[in-house]
Amino acid sequence: MKRIGMLTSGGDCQALNATMRGVVKGLHTMMGDVEIYGFEDGYKGLIYGKYRRMTGRDFSGILTRGGTILGTSRQPFKKMRTPDENGLDKVEAMKSTYKYLGLDCLVVLGGNGSQKSAHMLSEEGLNVVSLPKTIDNDLYGTDMTFGFQSAVDIATQAIDCIHTTAASHNRVFVVELMGHKVGWVTLHAGIAGGADIILIPEIPYNLNHVISAIQRRSEQGKGFTILAVAEGAISKEDAALSKKDYKAKLAGRKHSTVGYELASQIEAATGHEVRVTIPGHTQRGGSPVPFDRVISSRLGVTAAELIKNEDYGKMVIMKGYEIDTIPLAETAGKLKYVSPEDPIIRQAKNLGISFGD
C-alpha cells in the first residue's frame, strides 16, 4: 500500500480543494487503499511534523469549496536553506518527516516559489509530484494554472459593476487587480470587462499616453473611462530604474498603490474625477468556476496516475486543452510572463484598448 503526503503552499486559490479531491479520488479508484497524510499550512507542516492522517471522506464534498482544507503559508524558497530561529535545518527536517512517515510520494500544490522548493526536495531524493496552483497563471510550462479562471471571473465582475456607476457619473475609474510581476489576470479581466485601458507589468506605460487615451474618449463624447491596472503596473520611467532605485522610489511614494498614484496623476492632468477600486483578496476567494473544477479534477487525477506509475519529479500541466507533465527541473524557478508580442495584445489593441505604451 502506498503512503502519500500532500500539502498546499503559498497564496491560496479557489480550486485547491477540488484538485486534492481529484488526486485522492484518482488514487482510490486506481489503486484501492492508500494512506494519505495531509501536512498543515504548507511546507511548515512538513518541516515541523504537523500532519494528520486523512481518508477519502475528508476529501468528499469539497469540490466547490474555496481555500484549502489543509491550510497554507508562505515559506520563501530563498529562506529554505536558512536555519529557523532555533537553529533547525528545515530541509533536513522535511526529509526526516518524509522518512519517518515512510512516504512513497509527496504531492505539492503550489505556485512559483513552492515549485522551487518541490524541485529542491526532489533533488534531495524525495519522490515529488506537483500541481500548478495560482490565480496569477504565471507558472512556466503550463498554459493554465488552476485558480486563474476563477480569479478572472471575480475581477471581471468587479469591472462589470464599475461600468454602470462609471457611466452614470461620468467618472474615470481605476480597477486595480492582482499580479505583482505578471498581468494575466488584469489582461483577461480587462478584455472580458471591456476596460478602455489595460496596464500590466510586462508593458510599461507612458503616463502621457494614458492621459491622451482618456482625453480621446472624452472628445468622442464618452463620459467615462475604465482602467484595469495590475498591482505591479509600472511606468516606462520607473522600469528604466535599477531594482534598488525603484525600491527606494516605492518606499518614498506618497500613494499606497499604483492605482492611487495613477488616479492622482490623471486627476491633476485632466481635471476628471477619478475613483479607485481594489477587489484585492476577493479575487482569491469563493467557489471555483466550473472551468477550474474541470481542470483541477483532470490535473489531480493525472497526479494520481504519475504516483501509480512511480513517475516522479514532475509537475502536471495543461498544453492547450490537453493534460501533460513537465520535469520539475525544467519549470522550477521560471515565470511565464505576458509577451508584448503575444497575439492577444495585438487583438486587444485592435479592439481599441490602450496599453499606455
**Choice between 36 and 178, CB closer to ligand F6P:** 178
Cα angle: 194, vertex 197, 203; to 5 degrees: 125
Q: What span, in angstroms and rounded, lies between the C-alpha atoms of 258 and 73? A: 26
Residue 338 contacts residue 183 (beta carbons within 8 Å): yes
* Binds ligand F6P (CB under 6 A): choice among 111, 190, 201, 279: 111
**Choice between 111 and 356, CB closer to ligand F6P:** 111
Q: Which residues pair with 106 in a beta bridge?
A: 5, 128
Q: What is the C-alpha radius of gyration for the chain, rounded to an integer number of angstroms?
A: 22
- Cell output for 170: 461620468
Q: By Cβ distance, which residue is nearest to ligand F6P?
A: 178
**Choice between 138 and 196, CB closer to ligand F6P:** 138
Using rule CB under 6 A, residue 113 touches ligand F6P: no
Question: Which stretch, 132-140, 186-194, 269-277, 294-302, contacts ligand F6P (CB under 6 A)?
Answer: 132-140
Report how far Cα 303 is from the mean position of its chain's Cα atoms.
20
Question: Which stretch, 87-95, 130-138, 210-218, 236-244, contacts ligand F6P (CB under 6 A)?
Answer: 130-138
- Cell output for 346: 495585438
Residue 151 contacts residue 178 (beta carbons within 8 Å): yes
In whole angstroms, the minimum distance from the beta carbon of 292 to ligand F6P comes to 15
Residue 283 contacts residue 151 (beta carbons within 8 Å): yes
Nearest to 147 by CA among 335, 202, 138: 138
- DSSP structure string for 48-71: HT-EEEE-GGGGTT-TT--S-TT-
* Binds ligand F6P (CB under 6 A): choice among 38, 179, 279, 313: 179
In whole angstroms, the minimum distance from the beta carbon of 27 to ligand F6P comes to 28
Q: What span, in angstroms and rounded, lies between the C-alpha atoms of 118 and 203? A: 31
**Choice between 113 and 313, CB closer to ligand F6P:** 113
Pairing state between β 314-319 and 322-327: antiparallel
* Binds ligand F6P (CB under 6 A): choice among 21, 116, 284, 314: 284
In whole angstroms, the minimum distance from the beta carbon of 147 to ligand F6P comes to 8
Q: Interaction with ligand F6P in 181-240: which residues (CB under 6 A)?
A: 231
136 belongs to the catalytic site: yes
Catalytic residue among 58, 89, 104, 136: 136
Question: Which stretch, 20-28, 173-181, 247-255, 332-340, contacts ligand F6P (CB under 6 A)?
Answer: 173-181
| Neighbouring C-alpha atoms within 13 Å toward the C-beta of 158 | 29
Question: Which stretch, 40-48, 116-124, 167-175, 176-184, contacts ligand F6P (CB under 6 A)?
Answer: 176-184
Using rule CB under 6 A, residue 307 touches ligand F6P: no
Q: What SS3 class is residue 170? A: coil
Q: What span, in angstroms and rounded, lies between the C-alpha atoms of 135 and 112? A: 11
Q: What span, in angstroms and rounded, lies between the C-alpha atoms of 202 and 336? A: 11
Question: Which stretch, 98-106, 156-164, 174-182, 191-199, contacts ligand F6P (CB under 6 A)?
Answer: 174-182
**Choice between 34 and 258, CB closer to ligand F6P:** 258
Using rule CB under 6 A, residue 110 touches ligand F6P: no
End-to-end CA distance of the chain: 58
Q: Interaction with ligand F6P in 26-85: which residues (CB under 6 A)?
A: none
Using rule CB under 6 A, residue 9 touches ligand F6P: no
**Choice between 5 and 111, CB closer to ligand F6P:** 111
Which residues are marked as active site? 136
Which residues are at the interface with ligand F6P (CB under 6 A)?
11, 111, 134-136, 178-180, 231, 284
